[in-house]
Structure 1
Amino acid sequence: MRIIVQKFGGTSVASPEVRELALRKIEKVREQGFSPVVVVSAMGRQGAPYATDTLIGIARSAYKGIAARELDQIMYCGEMISAVVMAGTLQAAGMDAIMLTGGHAGIITDANYTDARIVKCDPTRLIHLLRQGKVPVVCGFQGMTGDNEFTTLGRGGSDTSAAALGAALNAELVEIYTDVDGIMTADPRIVENAKILDCISYGEVCQLAHQGAKVIHPRAVEIAMQKNIPLVVKSTFSEAPGTLITNIAKEDTDGTAVIDRVATGVTYLNNIVQIKVHLDDAMGTDASFKVFKTMADSGISVDLINVHPGQIMFTINADHAEKASIRLKRLGYEIEVLENCAKVSVVGGGMREVPGVMASFIEALSRNRIAILQTVDSHTSISVLVPQSDVETAVKSLHEKFGLSN
């Protein structure tokens, strides 16, 4: 049995017209001899009546601080509505479709409501249904605890559902359908000549996602990578081949391997605040530990970390700036807070041990007189903190410098 998982995002199931397009994608793989498992997100985006954000708004209209468990119960509904409607669409076309919740499909999670982690994925029921010739339509974004409590998997959780099911079923492929033709070298709203990548590695796409690109959830990629299940990001609205995510080097039609590229894409994150913590000898050798322990205990994620004698620098999301400042000042630290910053990153698996990559990065920004507030790099990415007002210029200049439009 050749299994393929097809995940359709909110814009791909939002109306009867687009559900017909999704139907054709499902019919096509069945004609090719595959047994599809369909995973769906809630219908539409914020403002649509059954979108997840709309349902959250309804719950919080009663009480802004509603408990996470109760929030999960209403968020669960969006995908259930979508899956029922999609199953009906397939049934009308003559398919023996059956709607399943995430729990029905075997996705078991921990009890971390609104951001649950998958503990295991039992494909037994799905395999039984597929052998009967049925087309399972599974609610993405959902799981169930061992105690049969409903949970959700956090933002982008439908991608995670699809990857987990693909891995558990040893699927030949997981297709992620969305409203774009694939993963691009940069945000096309900023870089007009950004290109669609035909192939990208698991590691590169994880870096792009972590650094701000809204392409696919990194947890989904990490799950697929464990069993080397290929992923394809493609559009419901076109026949474009999309972007293949895999460990296997793609080959040209003449059989020659594609030349390894230094950079794969440029991405960015807005709404960043830089915090500088000043230290003195009287604070003791564990002062740095106390700073980061305080952030962790406060539920604040830190990034772009630089530790120097007498000073610590790091960045956080601007939404946490006030809380971080209060907690650090209570401990007696002198701090500086720089608001209205952004993180811009160049990602590429080919930059490892390549001389001059950092020089090219800095040159591109310096030529455009962009202030560099902080930098950090790894084997596969270079990131810089810049004033938020310079984001577009920074992205364009780096995209051009690294030849990503060629």
Structure 2
Amino acid sequence: MNNVPPMPLEEAQARLLALVEPLPMEHVDVEGAIGRYLAEAVQARRTHPSADLSAMDGYAVTDANLSGPWRVVGESAAGHPFSGTVGPGEAVRISTGAVLPAGAKAVILQEDVACANQQVTLTGEAPEPFHKHIRACGLDFCQGDEVMAAGIRIGPAQAALAIAAGHKHLPVSRRPRVAVIDSGDELVRDPETCQPHQIPASNGAMLMTMAHALPVEAERVGPVIDTTEALIGAFETVPMADVIVTSGGASVGDHDLVRPALEAWGATLDFWRVGIKPGKPILVASRACGTGRQLIVGLPGNPVSSFVTGYHFLLPLLRKLLGARDPLPLRFPARLGVPLRAHGGRREFLRASWDGHRVVPQATQDSGALAALAASNVLIDRPAFAPAAAEGEEVLVYLLQNGGIA
């Protein structure tokens, strides 16, 4: 397999996502479903609004063509509708969100009338058309309408929609169980005790944080020393994990033992090496576990490589398990704030800052440069053999912050 050329990114992502289906469905209360994905389409159990409502404060009348006067015969407030019928020459004081009285055809804004001694006279403009300030029954949706499709993520607006549609609970896939294992003799868990020949084990915390951007149950194991036995032992401590993600040991060095440890543990390698920079030595494997299967995603040990491959593989995998309709991250165009040189033979993701108008790569693109990564809010997608690009040219970028990471 060492002689097989690295796989293109999209092919590798497709192969990874083809290995899994959304996890079993459960019903949770709407507030508990925030951040999760709908396992089934949701139909409205009620019509919304369920009656004609006023969109403004004013007066409900039968005919807005006349200048009045109209005699005020009552009031309709939100939650307290007028019980009678509005007739010719009559008006009902009405507030925003209140039910339109029977017989009313229009709402005249309160700032367009003068009211004295229970008499209302038009002083401004009548509504055109008549129903301009009326929210018709069923304007938003009707009972039986599909209001949300399967696979969409539930946020504040979707939660409000579900409740307005009459739902107290929503169908979602259960939370994936994720185990994060970082390995390497040089790693120490406590950064305050790190010696000069050691490195703080930052990847585990980084990947845990990345996973927790989605509604998952995650635990961290390690750091684990560089022996096959230690790695197998770490795998065996997480028998219920749906996904095991490792960091480090996925390459071809003498101390890169994740592949042989996985094979000795009984896992089957699906693919290894993807044609991207940073992150080439990523691997994906699977192993039968009880009635299901565990997926193992082996990420490189260099922190930026681990982050980029986590972004492109771990997060889409977790979204697919959660039932996302579109699990892959989205790109959008941005204009360069500086020129870029012609690119080499591997697709590269440049860490960069985008201010909403122009995008500028970080000066340092080393795969171990965490400061440059932390200062970035986008990844520039630089194709293999891309020609030089001038300042102002468009490039495609992936959003990392303001919600893009999840």
Question: Structure 2 length normalisation: TM-score?
Answer: 0.24
**Structure with max Cα Rg:** 2
Q: Which one has the bigger helix percentage?
A: 1
Q: Which has the higher contact order (CA 8 A, sep 6+)?
A: 2
Question: Structure 1 length normalisation: TM-score?
Answer: 0.24
Q: Which one has the bigger strand percentage?
A: 2
